[in-house]
Structure 1
Amino acid sequence: MKPVTGDHLKLVFGLKLKQVRQDRGLSLKQVAGKTGLSVSYLSEIESGKKYPKPEKLIGLANALQVPFDDLVSMKMGKTLNPLMELLDSSLVREFPFHMFGINIRSLVDLATVSPEKTGALVRTLTEFIRTYDLKLEDFLFAALRSYQKVNGNYFEELEQEAADFGKEHGIVRASLQEKCEIFQKAVESANTVIDSENLTNYPDLMDLRSVYVNSKPARLLLNPELRVSQKAFILGREIGYQRLELKQRPKTSSLMKATRFDRVLDNYKASYFSGAMIIPERVLVADLKTWFNHKKWNQKHLRGLLSCYGVTPEMFLYRLSQVLPRHFGLKDIYYLRFNHSKDGKYYRLIKELNMSQLAMPSGINLYEHYCRRWLSIRQLEEAVSGKGASDEPVIEAQRSHFIDQDLTILNISILRPLYLKPDSFSSMTLGIVLTEKVSQTIHFAFDSSIPDVDVNETCERCFMSKDACGQRVAPPFVFNESERLKTRENSLKCLLRDFGEV
């Protein structure tokens, strides 16, 4: 068990003091009379707001007739053991409850009202987490996604900081190469050495874009194979850490292991700042209005925007998920990124932000088979088979009708090879739930040249027969089991009715 410190120590001691006092049948007023401490001060101790000094602890131990060591130890006894299980869990230690209006005190109150039930709940959650191999980082990233959704994935203060930096350095209309050079000078001026040579000495790390070393001076090791767009993003994020004074930062370009929420959040803020500098908000909104005014879908328009900004497809589509809700009122959207390789068995959902009403498997330990009719999945399938492989991005659109949920989505997907991973590809999708508002905003949304395709979540959940769907790769056992249970429930209702149950 990890040591209990700080606020948790106050909470634990306060609860233990209250338990001992109540076991002795004493009121706060009676303890106050025995110790000379005020009732209000004792109440603050029991509520976890104060921790008494040693001389007051001795007075409390004497008044309650309990050995001093027993009173101050962290041994809680059977009744409060569930509380220790709760406070000792990594989930409680690192999960950002405050972002959802919950404080640790609320959890403690729950544990003390019904400790046995709370203990059972904690053990149930622990068993669930182990059974499904969920890790702390799964909860931390889920918390981050919730934070993004609550804010519409738009943060005005970060946009403003990025705009201010752009004005100070004259980069609003600069080329990506020029921005990259300006970013590099800004990073170096903050006493950080940029090293594009030494990462090659560590072959196992060559799939990383960068590694940060907190040395004297600090050193940012860059993968020499990076493209300008990738290098600019890494340098822009470094500026974000410095300018926003973010203290919790990962050592690597992608989080190898997330153990603290503040580190996950700071990484997101620095990344947001970098994207907002590279693709300025005001310029992007104007360009999107021009693009959306086209009545016909043409991938050349989107390809032209990618070329103009010089950025990766994932950066551009993800940036759209930040500005569409705020500036165009399109809030029912999602962003998905899948990776797949020629020797891979599964299509890996590596990034997901679902702000839409569409319910879809999140990809956490999902061993079902994503619907092969999804645009991203089809793109990846064709790429690894050699049909769609290209160094140039493959840009396509599809109107996907989710037959189980009766929702139609405009999907815009871009496929590209993973430059640091041979024979591997990535497909990014921006999905927009189609409504009257969308048709008024994106004039090509219902263009007849965009194919309409019936889709579902996974093969296992889909009722379509193999004859109706030639892309099926697994039997519909989830759907069949659901139907079997419905049939049994209906049969039970008939039985009860036939025998006159009221």
Structure 2
Amino acid sequence: MEQDYIKLIFGLKLKQIRTDRGLSLFGLSKLSGLSKSYLNEIEKGKKYPKPDKIASLSEHLEVEYDDLVSLKLDKNLAPIGEILQSKLLKEIPLELFGIQESNLIDIISNAPQKVTAFISTIIEIAKNYNFSKESFYLASVRSFQEANNNYFSDLESSVLTFAKEYQIDLSQKIKTQDLEDILIEEYNYTINNDELELHSELENLRSIYIPKSRTLLITKSIDDSQRAFIYAKELAYNYLKITERLYTFSWIKFDSFDEVLNNFYASYFAGALVIPRESLVKDLKQLFSQKRLETKSFQSLLEKYNASPESVYQRLTNILPKDFKLKNLFFLRFSYKADTDHFSLNKELHLTKQQSPRASETNEFYCRRWISVKVLEAIDQHKSEHEFGIQISNYTSEHKQYLVLASATKDPFKDNRYRSISIGIELNSQLERKVNFIKHKSIKTIDVGVTCERCPILDCELRKIEPIVLQAKQKEDKTANVVAGITKKYSS
């Protein structure tokens, strides 16, 4: 266990025992012969006393020596001990968020019972929502992206340097073969296209990397753009000299936060390589200049790059905040099984603030008026390769409007399944200045909610269930108002 944590646990126990005995630091100082300042340093976890001093404290506090030095905490402080012994604080790079570990330790030592109550609450919520360590790591990375407006200049610069070193023309569509050649010739990779096909259990995996032999096992079922992305991620790991990484794509499990964070870095690098910033900015300016957005124009943009529609949409979340100052936006990815009524929101990103269309962990019905859902219903009905939709979503309960673009495609790895990707940009004067087609009559404004259970649009023809959560809240408010009225009446 980390020495700092051992000191902290000892300090927490000493402080708890002292306060239980009704002693001040001054009082314990007189009893033990240790200075008040020294005892204060011990309780803050900054110093650990020598055995003779522990013996003195044990004697005057009437507690067994072994109990005092034990790392076991009583039930009031046990959650803090669990957090410290799990090394969770060591696994998460707190410095990414501008937090010093020592500051957290000070907070814990100054108000242990309140911090314990808070940690216990978080643990209880996590259990109820099946919130795993992996979910916590992914949420941390997402918060890191949001804190930086999902734009990382060092990675953008690394892509430009890489392209120059290896003579990759970023003004042209990236060739998968060029990326494969660099992996083989520069990084001594062996590409195996056959092994994964022999194992039906691995049908959901796109690739496995074997570091000892530098072999990349890759499935034949992926298309050229997916192969290019995998190659670009492998190049990122090597070029950025990332050693702590994930070895499967998609991931099976991860053991540390660094693996998750580095996976994000490699994915960002790959996206910036196959969808170069300068080219995309130019394309978007041309697209935004149109008086009316033609579906073919947007589809042409998606097809211009050797990338999946999802990669292009995700790349928009890097470029729009940085180059167009459109920072209030969200990204959503839904999955949907054909001929069902269940839509799963399994990926999201919110920049600047937490916008309304967010994942629900309570199995509520997402609003069927969302364009994200509509394009999934359309592709299921038409059995087409790609469905595109655009609308202005008006969140009536929050008085916010978003321009939302969405695409639906087949899930390349699962039969009878589809996925939709959408990006929503808050409607404001900045968007109106940047996007010429925003006011064209072809773009419909649709009143939307978040889930049916909470939606105030009572006459919605697409509603799946009554707004039971909203109704319960309204009933509570009415009750509170009546109580307030009675209280006022009898208080005068």
TM-score by length of 1: 0.87
Shift of 1:77: 5.0
1:195 aligns with: 192
* Counterpart selection for 2:215 from 215, 219, 231: 219
Equivalent AA in structure 1 for residue 277 of structure 2: E
Which residue number corresponds to residue 417 of structure 1? 410
Which of 464, 473, 489 is the matching residue for 2:464? 473
Q: Distance in 2 between matches of 1:100 and 1:356?
A: 15
RMSD (Å), alpha carbons: 2.9
Whether the 8 Å CA contact 2:83–2:89 is kept in 1: the answer is yes
How far apart are the structure 2 equivalents of 1:225 and 1:27? 73
After superposition, the Cα gap between the structure-2 partners of 1:110 and 1:304, relative to the gap in structure 1 and judged at 3 Å, is same
CA contact (8 A) 1:360 1:457 kept: yes
Contact 1:140 1:264 in 2 (8 A): yes
Secondary structure, in 3 states, of the residue corresponding to 1:75?
coil
Preserved CA contact (<8 Å) 2:287 2:293: no
- For residues 74 and 456 of structure 2, the distance between their equivalents in structure 1, rounded to whole angstroms, comes to 53
Q: Deviations over 1:280-322 (max 9, x none)?
A: 1112112211111111111111111222213211111110110
Distance change in 2, residues 1:490/1:164 (3 Å): same
Q: Is the 8 A contact 2:378 2:387 kept in 1?
A: no
2:482 pairs with one of 482, 485, 491:
491
Name the amino acid aligned to 1:185.
D
1:400 matches 2:397: no
2:132 corresponds, among 120, 135, 138, to 135
In structure 2, the residue matched to 1:390 is: 384
Query: Which residue in the other structure is 2:356 paired with?
Result: 360
Tell me which residue corresponds to 2:235. Answer: 239
Closer/same/farther in 2, CA of residues 146 and 78 from structure 1, 3 Å limit: closer
**Offset at 1:243?**
1.6
Greater shift in the superposed pair: 222-231 or 186-195: 186-195
The TM-score, its normalising length taken from structure 2, stands at 0.88
CA distance in 2, matches of 1:31, 1:277: 66
Aligned-pair CA distance for 1:213: 2.4
- How far residue 166 of structure 1 moved from its aligned partner, in angstroms, is 1.2
8 Å contact from structure 2 (residues 149, 352) kept in 1: no
Equivalent residue number for residue 36 of structure 1 = none
Change (3 A) 1:27 1:358: closer
- Report deviation, 1:94: 4.1
Q: Report if the CA contact (8 A) 1:358-1:407 is conserved.
A: no
- The 5-angstrom pairing of residues 312-461 of structure 1 reads 312-342=308-338, 344-355=340-351, 357=353, 359-360=355-356, 362-384=358-380, 386-387=381-382, 389-391=383-385, 393-461=386-454
Give unpaired runs (5+ residues) of structure 2: none
CA contact (8 A) 2:367 2:452 kept: yes
| Distance across 2 between alignment mates of 1:187 and 1:324 | 31
* 1:68-107 map, 5 Å: 69-70=66-67, 72-76=69-73, 80-88=77-85, 92=89, 94-107=91-104
**Structure 1 unmatched ranges of 5 or more:** 34-38
- Which position in structure 2 is the counterpart of 1:208? 205
Question: Which residue identity is paired with 1:252?
Answer: T
Contact 2:205 2:248 in 1 (8 A): yes
**Structure 1 residue aligned with 2:457, among 442, 464, 481?**
464
1:279 is matched with 275
CA–CA distance in 2 between the matches of 1:243 and 1:486? Answer: 59
- The match for 1:153 among 141, 150, 154 is 150
